[in-house]
Structure 1
Amino acid sequence: MPTLHRKLLGLLPRIGVRVLDLGSGAAVVYRRGERTRVPVGPRADLVLRGTAGAWKDVALGDSGARLLLDEKAAAADERRFQVAAAAYLCGQHVAALLERCEVNCVFDVGANSGQYGRQLRRLGYRGRIVSFEPTAEAFGKLQKAAEGDPEWWVHRIGLGREDATQSINVGWNTMNSLLQPSDYGKDRYKRFAKSRTEDIEIRRLDGMMDKALAGITDPRPYLKMDTQGYDLEVFAGAGERVAAFVGMQSEVATLRLYEGSPRMAESIAVYEGSGFEITGMYPVSREPATGRVVEFDCVMVRADAVPRSG
């Protein structure tokens, strides 16, 4: 015998209401446009507007996680798909690392408009964030992003090897740099054709740490750097106090976008020489024509800083 639920679902189309029956007492009721049910594992379904197309439910190894993939769209721009997937995985990895290493202060160097800080909050990190952004326009956006968050501190300065005043190239959106673009960079990005400069304050990282960590019992800081070719200069400015960081993250380049910037092997050798070891490498950008990776996000940790369970 049909249940009352089933009888009601059968009546709805007569009054112009469409029904997509999901079984087990669940249904989607709608008036306009088609809906398609895509099974996602044994206990979940995805309801899409229109036809299902080429959606596929892909198991991610034996992790228990599954990927719902539009195969046609992914194949149409494989490069963009790979970079987007890497950005997601990097964020998840960093969030897990911060929790496992009991990080209570993240130094966000090259904060731009606060993208990294917002991502940390979305991923569940509730400790202190100290962001450094030297350019006027980006810093204004960073201030707004941090409003209402008492544990997100912002400073309008850049970090480097020495305390100084320098000119930075601006007008390149997220790619503002203290360095000039390389010939390769000019060929790749039209934004480098036009620029203006802005005078900024540069400070050493070791001179900022006491203020940033004030009030934290047993500080366990993490260093994130994204300074468009200037990360090694920031790192050098930490001096001997770099040993205080339990982990770090740096954008390392396989292809130089800026004159005088270090290649990936040089950067990683410096970080490893200071006791950090790689936990993840995630492509940030890839060359459209060849697929070559231009830059990676390199995530690293001090093995002896990871709390042992049990």
Structure 2
Amino acid sequence: MATLFRKVLAALPRLGVQVLDLGPGAAVISRRGGYTARKAEAGAWLVGRERTSTSAERPHAPAGTWGLPQATASSLCARHVAGLLANYQVDCVFDVGANKGQYGTQLWRAGYRGRIVSFEPVPEALERLREIAERDEDWQVHPCGLGREESVASIHLGWKTMNSLLEPSAYGRQRYQRFADTGTTTQVRIRRLEDVMDEALDGLAAPRPFLKMDTQGYDLEVFAGAGDRIGEFVGMQSEVAALRLYEGSPRMAEALAAYEDAGFGITGMYPVTREETTGRVVEFDCVMARAARAVPVPGATGARDGSATGDQRPPVGP
């Protein structure tokens, strides 16, 4: 017998709502140009405006064509990361390119209760990030960027979540109207990941850190700045580019080769953005782990429920 949940899903298309059934208790629903809702867990829905682009950014393309698949990929990626953090008993997530704390908040909603160490150099985003992080005593915020070398650099502002230390590529300029303004910048401090790890991991008896990078073309520079200490990370997540949006950023094959050479293996690849007209993926969220560092769970084959640390602090978020 069909459950009420399934009956509702079956009725929604007649109301002009797109439905993608993800299995028991989970679905992605959206109305073009409206809102997208993702059921993250029992009793919890994630709702947000479906991403569309202006005609100047994606000419001659029907708005929202890939909105539902992208929302689904985002939901599946979040679930995958949550399971990996639990299976590998991660107790500290390095959130590089934290923006306003969206990733850390997502981790909390998914059940993670370990330490979060966020890095964000843009003043406006940093202010909001600090407000969010204040709700958790074990969420550190560092007002800087990370890179290959200690330095002071100019970062572009006004590109919203796409602010970068790099110039936009010719492809990036064609794709995103926001890249037309390249004159608004500010000076920010760049540190090396290797140099901040002792402070970030202080107090953890046997740290099992995870590295998340979303730095708009600069991930491989962040990775290089870890030096030999990259070997301490049990897993990582990086935004890799199939089509380069920034000058000087590595192509996907180059980035993946560097990560694999350092001992990480791919556990998941999730499209972040696509070209509306061609369907080509622009960027992927690539999730990786060191298989040798996985923690065996007797009698279990899937992700364990709950946090890596057993901490029961209340969840945080906007």
Highest relative contact order (Cα 8 Å, sep 6+), 1 or 2?
Answer: 2
CA distance in 1, matches of 2:232, 2:207: 8
- Give 1:173's match in structure 2, choosing from 143, 160, 177: 160
* TM-superposed deviation, 1:221: 0.2
Q: TM-score, normalised by structure 2?
A: 0.78
CA distance in 1, matches of 2:69, 2:19: 17
**1:216 to 2:187 alignment:** no
Unpaired runs of at least 5, structure 1: 1-38
Identical columns (%): 56
CA contact (8 A) 1:130 1:152 kept: yes
**1:110 to 2:97 alignment:** yes
Give 2:15's aligned residue: 53
Give 1:205's aligned residue: 193
* TM-superposed deviation, 1:45: 5.4
CA distance in 1, matches of 2:133, 2:269: 28
CA distance in 2, matches of 1:68, 1:182: 33
CA contact (8 A) 2:275 2:282 kept: yes
CA distance in 1, matches of 2:236, 2:3: 36
CA contact (8 A) 1:206 1:239 kept: yes
Map Cα deviations across residues 17-51 of structure 1 (whole Å, 9 max, x no partner). xxxxxxxxxxxxxxxxxxxxxx9537875499999
**1:92 to 2:79 alignment:** yes
CA contact (8 A) 2:65 2:276 kept: no
Describe the shift of the 1:292–1:214 C-alpha distance in structure 2 as closer, same or farther (beyond 3 A).
same
Give 1:274's aligned residue: 262
CA distance in 2, matches of 1:42, 1:48: 10
CA distance in 2, matches of 1:68, 1:177: 31
CA contact (8 A) 1:40 1:57 kept: no
User: RMSD value over aligned CA atoms?
Assistant: 2.7
Q: Which deviates the most, 269-278 or 72-81? A: 72-81
Unpaired runs of at least 5, structure 2: 37-61, 299-318
- Give 1:283's match in structure 2, choosing from 255, 267, 271: 271
* TM-superposed deviation, 1:78: 3.9
CA distance in 2, matches of 1:141, 1:105: 21
Q: Which has the larger radius of gyration?
A: 1
**1:67 to 2:54 alignment:** no
* TM-superposed deviation, 1:257: 0.3
CA contact (8 A) 2:153 2:188 kept: yes
Moved beyond 2 Å, runs of 4+ = 39-60, 63-78
CA distance in 2, matches of 1:165, 1:71: 45
1:121-200 equivalence runs, <5 A:
121-195=108-182, 196-200=184-188
CA distance in 2, matches of 1:41, 1:79: 29
Partner AA of 1:67 in structure 2: A
CA contact (8 A) 1:182 1:256 kept: yes
CA contact (8 A) 1:253 1:296 kept: yes
Describe the shift of the 1:67–1:45 C-alpha distance in structure 2 as closer, same or farther (beyond 3 A).
same
CA distance in 2, matches of 1:44, 1:69: 13
Q: Which deviates the most, 50-59 or 122-131? A: 50-59
Alignment length (residue pairs): 270
Describe the shift of the 1:54–1:114 C-alpha distance in structure 2 as closer, same or farther (beyond 3 A).
same
Partner AA of 1:123 in structure 2: A
Describe the shift of the 1:287–1:40 C-alpha distance in structure 2 as closer, same or farther (beyond 3 A).
farther
Partner AA of 2:126 in structure 1: F
* TM-superposed deviation, 1:146: 1.0
Give 2:236's aligned residue: 248
Q: Tell me the SS of whatever aligns to 2:15.
A: coil
Q: TM-score, normalised by structure 1?
A: 0.80
CA distance in 2, matches of 1:133, 1:249: 17
CA distance in 2, matches of 1:58, 1:159: 38
Partner AA of 1:129 in structure 2: I
CA contact (8 A) 2:212 2:236 kept: yes
